[in-house]
Amino acid sequence: MSAGVRDFVRRANETKRPEDSLALRGAVLAAVMTGMFALALEGAIGATTALMLTFLLPFAYWVSWKRRAMDNWHIKLALTAAALIALVRFLGQLSGIATLDEVRFPLADLFLWIQVVHGFDLPQRRDLNFSLGSSLTLMAVAGSVSQDLRFGVMLLIYFGFATAAFALAYRSELEEDVSGRLSSEPPSKGGRAAARKIPFGEVGRAALVTLVAAGILFMIIPQPAGIKTFSLPFKVGGGGGIFSGGDLINPGDSGGDPSSRLGGLAYFGISDRMDLSVRGELSNELMMRVRSSAPALWRGSVFDFYDGRAWVGDQDEPRSLGVGPPYTYPIEFRSTGPRSYINQTFYIEAEQPNVIFTGGEPDQVWHDGAVNVDDLGSLRTDSTLTPGQVYSAISSWGAAPPAELRASGVGELPPTMDRYLQLPSTLPSRVEELAREITARSTNTYDKVKALETYLRKNYRYSLDSPVPEEGRDA
């Protein structure tokens, strides 16, 4: 490299005002390390990578502290080459990506190595601010894959270090401003003391104003009616599930005498037939984790025929939803009217029936493998779900206001509802009499349904210990 070019590179990389606050550097490093540990805790990076970075990041910050007042032009050239290598490595990882969702993991890896490379050259406050901002990306990726409240602990720790870094950066800026004034008189002792004092009051008031403003904006800005997404998480997992052959397979249903207590790892009602006289026991074993944008009742098996003791679902061969993902729910099963949409991701922890759950009526499903639908709209896979498997869904429920439902709830129900209204001839007459008594004051279908809901809620308690009905008695 010629002398002229070398001098130009040195002048371009000359440090104008090195950051001397060791506390600020420590707070930024702690925030970056917290983001790295959060990724490791959620499994986004491997244990070997986390262990390596545990030693490499502090070493990089120590080097930048020692050389903060130097031009470091030769280090910058080496770091530029290292950054390019990290980028090439990232592009190579993208070639093995099966879904858009999986881009998060190599992206987190790229940001981590950029943190390491950048950590060797942090002479000024703006460089530290860049590292602090990049650490927020690490926390965002960790939060996007978290499945429990462990991430909340890491988030609290992170914001503690980030707040300290902001306060220390502000104090350092005040001290720099005081020392840089062009004055014939030195600053007073009181001025220097004020510059060194951490403005906790100002930081607290700013945080409060930000929270209030964010809350107001959240309430007044219209929320989107639907969910805009490219892809939701899904992966095949360990495999080795039980092939269903089109049937519903429940590995937790042990069968047996209905009067006995049936234990197992899955609820016995997930099948083609749900016997209401069977009494089951549910274990406390973790079966799955679910991330959802809103709470909702899960929908799995659908039944339409009641014989006085059991509900029976569709017995015909289900049909395929075509090539996916995403798989689109058939239009003939979709409800009309205003809808609210939610998304859910299911992380399988133990072997499950080959049923696709959704919070409400499914819309689209991301699953690595075939998805079938029966004549009642139940979704199922070709084999039981196994540990490590992940699938996601966008689903919806009715969003029509009560006034609209009351207005439309008068008249005959459509013929498509007939199959769900069948009742056995042996149904006790007292059931019908009680239903008419509860809904006597209601003038429309909506209010009748709400009256029944209220009556059941006030007069009955759900229990797994209810008595088994006698033979011949309606369940």
More confident residue, 407 or 457: 457
| Alpha helices (runs of H) in 147-248, residue ranges in sequence order | 150-179, 189-196, 200-220
pLDDT digits (tens, 9 = 90+) for 174-233: 877 666 554 445 545 544 444 455 555 655 665 665 666 666 656 655 555 444 555 677
pLDDT at 278 over 90: no
DSSP string, 382-431: SB-B-TT-EEEEEEEEE---HHHHHHH--SPPPGGGGGGS---TTS-HHH
* Mean pLDDT score, 358-374: 91
Gyration radius of the chain over CA positions: 31
Residue 55: the pLDDT is: 92
Mean pLDDT of the chain: 79
pLDDT digits (tens, 9 = 90+) for 307-336: 888 888 887 888 999 887 889 999 988 887
Residue 184: the pLDDT is: 46
Q: Can you tell me the distance from the alpha carbon of 471 to that of 266, in angstroms, rounded to the nearest whole number?
A: 26
- Of the given ranges (79-88, 294-303, 431-440), which has the lowest mean pLDDT? 79-88
Helix (H) or strand (E) holding 104: helix 104-119
Across the strands, what pairs with 261?
279
Q: What angle (nearest 5°) sits at the alpha carbon of residue 34, between those of residues 150 and 87?
A: 115
Which of the residue ranges 13-22, 105-114, 169-178, 299-308 has the most confident prediction, judged by mean pLDDT?
Answer: 299-308
More confident residue, 102 or 45: 45
Type of residue at 2: S
* Mean pLDDT score, 119-134: 86
Residue 210: the pLDDT is: 60
Q: Can you tell me the distance from the alpha carbon of 399 to that of 341, in angstroms, rounded to the nearest whole number?
A: 9
Pick from 370, 280, 268: nearest CA to 325:
370
* Mean pLDDT score, 448-470: 87
pLDDT at 29 over 90: yes
The pTM score is 0.67
pLDDT at 435 over 60: yes
Q: Can you tell me the distance from the alpha carbon of 96 to that of 94, in angstroms, rounded to the nearest whole number?
A: 5
Residue 182: the pLDDT is: 46
Residue 368: the pLDDT is: 87
Residue 173: the pLDDT is: 82
pLDDT at 256 over 60: no
- Of the given ranges (144-158, 211-225, 284-298, 354-368), which has the lowest mean pLDDT? 211-225
Sheet holding 288-292, edge to edge: 288-292, 339-348, 390-398, 361-366, 327-328
* Mean pLDDT score, 50-67: 89
pLDDT digits (tens, 9 = 90+) for 235-253: 777 667 788 777 888 877 6
